[in-house]
């Protein structure tokens, strides 16, 4: 993807691989982060998060704080993800 200006004003962060994540938890604050990345994850309405992925060696962590069960943390490996390139 190129030219995705809603993600960042930095032109170098407007290109690359992006992943959409839907993460909602009633009565809890949900955050999403990508390991080994300085790029922030963008939160959209409805529990949708957009993350820029640089490598399949990264992982995505979803944290829900304040729910009935306390903090819930789930980490997802991107190891088997295929990052396609434009030809």
18-27 pLDDT, tens digit each: 888 999 888 8
Q: Is residue 1 part of a domain?
A: no
Q: Give residue 20's domain range.
A: 16-77
* Closest by CA position to 74, among listed 12, 37, 32: 32
Long-range contacts of 72-81 (CB under 8 A, 24+ apart): 72/25, 72/28, 78/19, 78/53, 80/56, 81/19, 81/53, 81/56
**Percent of the chain residues topping a pLDDT of 90:** 30
Is the pTM higher than 0.85? The answer reads: no
Q: In the predicted model, is pLDDT for residue 34 greater than 50?
A: yes
Q: Is residue 34 part of a domain?
A: yes
Q: In the predicted model, is pLDDT for residue 4 greater than 70?
A: no
Q: Is residue 39 part of a domain?
A: yes
Asked if residue 29 lies in contact with residue 65, where contact means CB atoms within 8 angstroms, the answer is: yes
* Closest by CA position to 63, among listed 18, 33, 84: 33
Provide the pLDDT for residue 13.
Answer: 65
Q: How many domains does the chain have?
A: 1
């Amino acid at each position: 993807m190129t030219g995705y200006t809603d993600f960042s004003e930095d032109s170098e962060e407007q290109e690359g691989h992006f992943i959409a994540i839907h993460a909602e938890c009633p009565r809890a604050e949900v955050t999403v982060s990508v390991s080994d990345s300085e790029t922030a994850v963008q939160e959209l309405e409805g529990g949708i998060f957009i993350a820029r992925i640089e490598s399949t060696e990264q992982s995505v962590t979803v944290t829900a704080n304040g729910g009935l069960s306390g903090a819930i943390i789930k980490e997802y490996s991107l190891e088997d993800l295929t990052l396609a390139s434009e030809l």
